[in-house]
Amino acid sequence: MFKEKLSNGMDGLTFNDVLIVPNRSEVEPNQISLNTRLSKNISLNIPIVSSPMDTVTESEMAVSMARNGGIGILHRNMSIERQVKEVYAVKRSDEFIIRRTITASPDNTVSHILNLMRTENVSGIPIIKDKKLLGIVSTRDIRGISGSKLAEEVMTKDVITAKEDISVDKAFKKMYDSKIERLPIVNEKNEFVGMITMHNIMEREKYADAVRDSEGRLIVGAAIGPYDLERAKKIDAEKVDVIVVDCAHAHNLNVIKSAKKIKENISADMIVGNIATASAAEDLVDFVDGLRVGIGPGSICTTRIVTGVGVPQLTAVADVADVAKRYNVPVMADGGIKFSGDIAKAIAAGADTVMLGNLLAGAKESPGREVTIKSRLYKSYRGMGSLGAMSGTDRYSQAGRTKFVPEGVEGVVPYKGSVEDILFQLTGGLKSAMGYVGAKNIESMQERAKFMKITNNGIIESHPHDILITDEAPNYPLH
Question: Would you name the residues annotated as active-site residues?
Answer: 301, 395
Binding-site ranges for ligand XMP (CB under 6 A): 51, 53, 274, 294, 296, 298-301, 303, 334-337, 355-358, 383-386, 407-408
What is the chain's alpha carbon radius of gyration, rounded to the nearest angstrom? Answer: 25
Annotate 257-315 with DSSP letters as a single string.
HHHHHHHHT-SSEEEEEEE-SHHHHHHHTTT-SEEEE-SS-STTB-HHHHH-----HHH
Region for 155 from its dihedrals, namely left if φ exceeds 0, alpha if ψ lies in -120 to 50, beta otherwise: beta
Query: What dihedral do alpha carbons 83, 88, 94, 100 form, nearest 10°?
Result: -160
Spatial contact of 265 and 228, defined as CB atoms under 8 Å apart: no
Which residue's beta carbon is nearest to the bound ligand XMP? 408
Please give the backbone phi and psi of residue 140, each rounded to the nearest 5 degrees, phi first: -60, -40
CB of 55 to ligand XMP, least distance (A): 10
Burial environment of residue 8 by CB neighbours within 10 A (0 to 12, 13 to 18, 19 or more): exposed
User: 143 pairs with which residues across the strands?
Assistant: none
> Which pairs from 101-106 meet CB under 8 Å and 24+ separation?
101/126, 101/192, 101/194, 101/195, 103/127, 103/128, 103/192, 104/128, 104/137, 104/151, 105/129, 105/151, 106/134, 106/150, 106/151, 106/152, 106/155
Annotate 327-375 with DSSP letters as a single string.
TT--EEEES---SHHHHHHHHHTT-SEEEESHHHHTBTTS-SPEEEETT
**Residue 397's CB: how many other CB atoms inside 10 A?**
15
Cβ closer to ligand XMP: 69 or 362?
362
Q: HSE on the CB side for 336, CA within 13 Å?
A: 28
- In angstroms, the CA 116 to CA 262 distance is 38
Cβ closer to ligand XMP: 232 or 359?
359
Cβ closer to ligand XMP: 90 or 355?
355
Q: Please tell me what DSSP assigns to residue 99.
A: S
Instruction: Work out whether the CA dihedral 347, 350, 355, 357 comes out positive or negative.
Output: negative
Q: Which helix (H) or strand (E) holds 115?
A: helix 110-120
**In terms of residues, how long is the chain?**
479
CB of 194 to ligand XMP, least distance (A): 36
Cβ closer to ligand XMP: 237 or 309?
309
CB of 310 to ligand XMP, least distance (A): 8
CB of 36 to ligand XMP, least distance (A): 18
Cβ closer to ligand XMP: 226 or 385?
385
Cβ closer to ligand XMP: 180 or 300?
300
> Of 227, 261, 232, which is closest to residue 395 (Cα–Cα)?
227
- In angstroms, the CA 260 to CA 277 distance is 19
CB of 15 to ligand XMP, least distance (A): 11
CB of 372 to ligand XMP, least distance (A): 22
Cβ closer to ligand XMP: 303 or 315?
303
Cβ closer to ligand XMP: 200 or 303?
303
Cβ closer to ligand XMP: 302 or 432?
302
**Residue 324's CB: how many other CB atoms inside 10 A?**
25
